[in-house]
Structure 1
Amino acid sequence: MIKKSVLCAAILIAPFMATPALASIDTYTAFLYGSNETGGGDTDGFGVATVLIDNAALTVSWSIMANNIELPLTGAHIHAAAAGVNGPVIVDFSGSLTGSRLYDADLASITPMNPTSFYVNLHNASFPAGAIRGQLQYVGTAMAPVPEPETYALMLGGLGAIGLLVRRRQAARG
């Protein structure tokens, strides 16, 4: 009887002992100004972009606030280049101020060690080469819990074992 009680207690406690993995989400910001554009941008325009790179889910998410520039946007991107230099597009935001998309190989080049080697810029009809622009700055890494399949399997196994014990007990009584 004591063995069954200990086994039952262990099965009940086991799912709560499993700890979920933590996802690493790197956060970057860019302060956007027309004066940062090479070749000239919208001098009245300004904004801020927040970029989240989730290294576990392999996604990039962004939220951009833009002021005093003409909308709609004709483009929004992250480019690879230092301040004052134009560079190739690394991440295409499809002209959207907010969104999320799957991670691609080029995104892996953005790391907390080199964020200023990349910039965000917004394009519109009046400024097709870029209305406002800003270099990325690393803000920090957030650790978010990610449920693991093993945790759920352990929990389901424990519930199944409890069910078997209850069934055996009822069969022994009946």
Structure 2
Amino acid sequence: MHLLKTAGISLALSISLLSAAQADTTQTLSSTGTNQYYNRNPGNFEIGRVTFEYDTQSITALQTSVTLVDQGWGGQNPDNGVSIRLLSNNQAVYTLNVAGSTHDWQTLSFDLNSNPGAYTAINSALAGINRADGPIALQFVTNAWGYPGWELHTRNDFLSVTTSALPVPEPETYAMFLAGLGAIGFLKRRQGKALA
């Protein structure tokens, strides 16, 4: 009986470890800089992108750093600057501004873990994506608002994103799981014969 309990506890622990274990992946990208002009490349201008694995469950960390200047005439538009766009099959499902426009060169940093509202929002958007729709990616963009004379220049663009995914178990893990089930079945059968 004691052996049966031990085997049962071991099996339950193995199953819980299989379901709870997560694999983290960190991807980075960097660019020497971008240049946008109202009459050449307005709108969302891609700095770069990272593609997520199919089984990505959440974004656990996201950091950016950008040195930028907005040389537009007049006031600053709040939409000018640098954004992160969560894409499903190349369609934006969530946009997060990470660096606003400025008329003087400034280095602006963003840390998702310091912004709980954004952390919740981007992960909710990720959870709502139907994986069958196509690839999931995170796009790093500058956003040009196209009024005459507007320019946006960036330097030293950097993005780091860490995602968490449920791992695909190794064949050895399945073998151990099946062996555990077989051992429990054998012990149960043996116990039944002993009682008869």
Shorter-chain TM band? 0.3 to 0.5
TM-score normalized by structure 2?
0.35
Structure with the larger RCO, 1 or 2 (CA within 8 Å, 6+ apart): 2
